[in-house]
Amino acid sequence: MLAQLKKEFPKIDKGIISEVSNEFNENVEDANDVLVWLTENTTTLQEQQHLLKLLKVFGSLLPKTTISQTWRNYNKIFFDTLEELREICTTFNLNELEEENELKILREICLHILWNIFKYPKHRKYRQINTQTLYNYFFSKCNPLGVNLERIFEEMENFLQQIEFQKGDDNNWYYLRDHIQLHMWYITIFGIKEQTIYKTRYPIPETVCMLSNGKWKEYAIAFDYQHRTIMLFDEKTSKIKSLQVGNPNKSSLEFNVHIQWYNDTDINETHNKWACLILNHTWHFRIFEGNDRDDLSNCISVNESKKKNTSIFIKYQLYNSNDTIEFNSFHVIWKDQFNKTHKEPLNPYSMTLRQGIQHIKDKLQIKDYFTAGPDELICLKYEFDEWMPAISTTNEDVLLHDIYRRLPHYPIIQVHWKIEGYFMVPYKRTISTQRGNLPKSIPLQDSVVASNPKPKFNPLLYERDLHKLKVIRDTINIEVTRSNPLQKLLHEIIKNLCMTDLISKKIRQSKTDEEIKQQINFNENDKDGELILNDKILTILHELKILYHDDIHKRMGYPLQLHQICAILLYCGKSCNVPFSYDQIKLKHHIWPYLDFFLHEAISTLHKYERREEESTELYCGLKNVRLETIKEIKEGFFISHVSTSDDIQVAQMYRSHQGCILHFHPSMRRSHYIHSCDVSWLSPFKHEREILFERSLIYFTNSDKTNKTENAWNAKIESEDEYTQMILLTWIRYDQYIQQIMQISAMWSHSIDLNVLYAILLNTQGEVNLAIKHLSEFEAWRMQPKNKRKYEEIKNEFMEKRCCNNHINLFSFFL
């Protein structure tokens, strides 16, 4: 079969053909169908890999035509397509999903038998099936629907044999094994994934860690929506634990499902952060990745609705109103800042509007803190007339029941709330950008060895093509999986021939590379993170734990995990920086996905903990043998690699060597919220370099191309040049967008007004100069009144405590 497929599809990579063949258990017809589909929708190996992965994820949820059309709509960008398909699944109208009657009848009885064995493993009656009773049941189900009774009954008997039931002398069926077999669980999982509800969920958690008898244990998980039960399977003991989430009677309403989030950090042993969840005030779960907690919450919150003739229109989609099987019957749909849909179970009879808003705010806050550290509320924005359905009340203490009780088919409804929460890292956990305690660089005439020799970079390390940047993002994200992150990062370093960065010289001298690899269980093809973290061999682990407990990290509240600290240490202080940087500028990002990804995480997190608003820092980066020759300026540039800078120009001159360019970073680059950078000098072994690290530019799928270009980009122009050195100025694109207007208005007031105030006014007026001048005149008149200044002085400290260090801006905010 394989040879035949390879001959018929010469444009498809042989590895892809083998993968498709294995996926369909050598079913020629199905494999052929998929390969034709891939041929029609892809042209490169990477496209084939990406589209096949989308098919594996969504093939059981959506038609291939929907997947391929979405793929084309998003210009064959994997990550954008993935998010859109996820949204399609989340908002899919279940009543449009048709399931064959024969399949549905068979699946329901098979799952019923399996669930009973799992839930009551010691009850004999659930291990015995009367053949005549079973036949009569199928007759009652098949006859009204015109389903072939004999065929479905034959398939049922085949299923019973598959799960190791045996037929007795009395022609009835018996399950004689003492313990539940592992394959029965996998058969169950396969069956429940065919339920229509699973077509609205991606991803659905397959494993979960739950607190049991004071210890965290990992279980396989499945959701029995029909009986409002969560099933947990311990693969080590082959035992089942069932959690009754709500009333098992599917026709009853349920309003008491309660999901509480919290975060936990283990600073002593694992040094991990955990996204935690408490279900119904009883069952504690923890997950390594925040998005997995979101997915678990969504799976617990809601379930499927069955077809009825009556319906209501909410959130731009049709929801059928009744005969709904829910873990919770009433729930609120909301989206976070990354446009991810969340479904919140609430009790409308006991919860007020204010409490509901507070509940969502708390979750936004917990999610933000887990992701990057901000947890102090700046503002909470919501407009009731933007909700669906819109509500007109001004009393937030009214019960949700009183707001929604007149809607058709209440209380079995879904409503959509739009709530935006903005948070920051509180002042007490931030660090100053003052750097007086750092050593200056050693004079150039002294013998100095730089941290790592830099390869010859392409000019300005930049790219303007957003499509290429999205392809880079795909290249990284499709490779990275989140379990065992430190193991996978160290595995990547060893695989890329940089093992010496991880072990001491003494160990390298006493053992061969093969002996070392054997002792830490290194397997070049390992994708699951099975490397053994033996700190007696991998001595870098000691360095990581010392840096983790550094006073600066402690002050911040330990926001970084070991794999993120490791990424910065490897980049700033180890030899792998050279091949890593070289591969990035050659657009070979796929070689180092974990180092790149964890660098992003670390830089974007630390970026939020620094009080960059307190000063304006000029930064420099030296590039050896690099000059802008054919162009004099760059508009809308993006970094294609991470960029090291220093506030000491002598460090840049050292890296520039005898000839090259120096990138001069305007203070707007450091102060931008969208161009992430951080001070890594406390993590670097080379303190004298006073290093500020800028991350490779990210393109956010939630932003339009226009937004990405106007917020995340920078401009560059030649500032000065001579025979040996070209000085190139980089400025944040928004700075250039407003600076001319700002200076024009400033001149009208004889440059007596703080430029930040002018910028704030122009933002407030969307760049309308005349309107800005009008507002400025009003502000100046108000500011000159002594009573207004006195009022501000009374509350001045409140601004300072909120990291608002510019009194001119604070006064203007007070005026507004």
pLDDT at position 445 over 50: no
For 506, the domain range is: 459-735
- Band the pLDDT of 448: cuts 50, 70, 90: very low
Domain final residue pick, 679, 708, 735: 735
One domain, residues 500 and 633: yes
- Band the pLDDT of 306: cuts 50, 70, 90: very low
Q: Stretch 330-347: mean pLDDT, rounded?
A: 82
- Band the pLDDT of 203: cuts 50, 70, 90: confident
The reported pLDDT for the residue numbered 462 is: 78
Round to whole Å and give the CA distance between 489 and 567: 8
Round to whole Å and give the CA distance between 588 and 584: 5
Residue range 641-655, pLDDT digits in tens? 999 999 999 999 998
Q: Stretch 34-40: mean pLDDT, rounded?
A: 92
Round to whole Å and give the CA distance between 440 and 650: 9
The reported pLDDT for the residue numbered 322 is: 34
The reported pLDDT for the residue numbered 98 is: 57
Residue range 104-125, pLDDT digits in tens? 888 888 888 888 888 788 888 8
245-254, 285-294, 682-691, 781-790: least confident range:
245-254
One domain, residues 296 and 410: yes
The reported pLDDT for the residue numbered 447 is: 33
**Total structural domains in the chain?**
5
Structure tokens at 740: 């001319």
The reported pLDDT for the residue numbered 91 is: 67
One domain, residues 789 and 709: no
Count of CB atoms within 10 A of residue 609's CB? 23
One domain, residues 561 and 626: yes
The reported pLDDT for the residue numbered 719 is: 93
Bridge-based pairing of strands 173-174 and 725-732 is unpaired
343-347, 376-380, 735-739, 799-803: least confident range:
799-803
Greater confidence (24 vs 530) lies with: 530
- Band the pLDDT of 241: cuts 50, 70, 90: confident
Is 149 a member of any domain? Answer: yes
Domain final residue pick, 424, 448, 468: 424
Q: Stretch 74-99: mean pLDDT, rounded?
A: 77
One domain, residues 626 and 650: yes
Residue with token string 């024969």: 102
Q: Stretch 145-153: mean pLDDT, rounded?
A: 90
- Band the pLDDT of 627: cuts 50, 70, 90: confident
Is 618 a member of any domain? Answer: yes
One domain, residues 291 and 373: yes
Q: Which residues contact 692 (CB under 8 A, 6 or more apart)?
A: 617, 619, 644, 645, 646, 647, 670, 677, 678, 679, 680
- Band the pLDDT of 709: cuts 50, 70, 90: confident
- Band the pLDDT of 323: cuts 50, 70, 90: very low
Tally the C-alpha atoms within 13 A of residue 201's C-alpha that lie toward its C-beta: 26
The reported pLDDT for the residue numbered 693 is: 97
In percent, the amount of the chain with pLDDT more than 90 equals: 48
Residue range 516-569, pLDDT digits in tens? 999 999 999 998 899 999 999 999 999 999 999 999 999 999 999 999 999 999
The 3-state DSSP composition of the chain as helix, strand, coil percent (nearest 5) reads 45, 15, 35
Asked if 421 and 364 touch (Cβ cutoff 8 Å), the reply is: yes
One domain, residues 62 and 82: yes
Q: Stretch 192-217: mean pLDDT, rounded?
A: 78
Helix 182-192 with 101-119: angle, nearest 10 deg: 140
Structure tokens at 88: 């399609």
One domain, residues 532 and 595: yes
pLDDT at position 69 over 90: yes
Counts for the chain of helices (H) and strands (E), in that order: 30, 26
Helix 807-815 with 769-783: angle, nearest 10 deg: 100
Count of CB atoms within 10 A of residue 160's CB? 19
This prediction has a pTM of 0.88
Tally the C-alpha atoms within 13 A of residue 688's C-alpha that lie toward its C-beta: 12
One domain, residues 653 and 595: yes
- Band the pLDDT of 452: cuts 50, 70, 90: low
Asked if 338 and 702 touch (Cβ cutoff 8 Å), the reply is: yes
The reported pLDDT for the residue numbered 308 is: 33
pLDDT at position 215 over 80: yes
Domain containing residue 112: CATH number: 1.20.58
- Band the pLDDT of 701: cuts 50, 70, 90: confident
Greater confidence (182 vs 131) lies with: 131
The reported pLDDT for the residue numbered 1 is: 65
Which contacts (CB < 8 Å, 24+ apart) does range 698-706 have? Answer: 698/473, 698/600, 699/466, 699/469, 699/470, 699/473, 699/638, 701/79, 701/80, 701/83, 702/337, 702/338, 702/339, 705/466
* Residue 732 amino acid letter: W
Helix 593-609 with 485-495: angle, nearest 10 deg: 130
One domain, residues 399 and 465: no
Is 230 a member of any domain? Answer: yes
In percent, the amount of the chain with pLDDT more than 70 equals: 90
The reported pLDDT for the residue numbered 497 is: 95
Domain final residue pick, 186, 219, 234: 186
33-37, 86-90, 210-214: least confident range:
86-90
Q: What rounded mean pLDDT belongs to the chain?
A: 86
Residue range 251-269, pLDDT digits in tens? 677 778 899 999 999 999 8
Asked if 296 and 210 touch (Cβ cutoff 8 Å), the reply is: no
Is 574 a member of any domain? Answer: yes
Q: Name the residue among 626, 612, 615, 590 with its Cα closest to residue 673.
A: 612
Count of CB atoms within 10 A of residue 692's CB? 25
Greater confidence (2 vs 747) lies with: 747
Q: Stretch 326-330: mean pLDDT, rounded?
A: 67
Q: Stretch 780-797: mean pLDDT, rounded?
A: 88
pLDDT at position 637 over 50: yes
Is 429 a member of any domain? Answer: no
One domain, residues 755 and 611: no
Is 476 a member of any domain? Answer: yes
Helix 769-783 with 786-801: angle, nearest 10 deg: 110
Round to whole Å and give the CA distance between 53 and 30: 16
Is 430 a member of any domain? Answer: no
Q: Stretch 592-604: mean pLDDT, rounded?
A: 97
pLDDT at position 131 over 80: yes
Residue range 731-743, pLDDT digits in tens? 999 999 999 999 9
Asked if 599 and 567 touch (Cβ cutoff 8 Å), the reply is: yes
Is 438 a member of any domain? Answer: no
Count of CB atoms within 10 A of residue 600's CB? 18
The reported pLDDT for the residue numbered 303 is: 45
Greater confidence (22 vs 99) lies with: 22
One domain, residues 719 and 756: no
The reported pLDDT for the residue numbered 202 is: 65
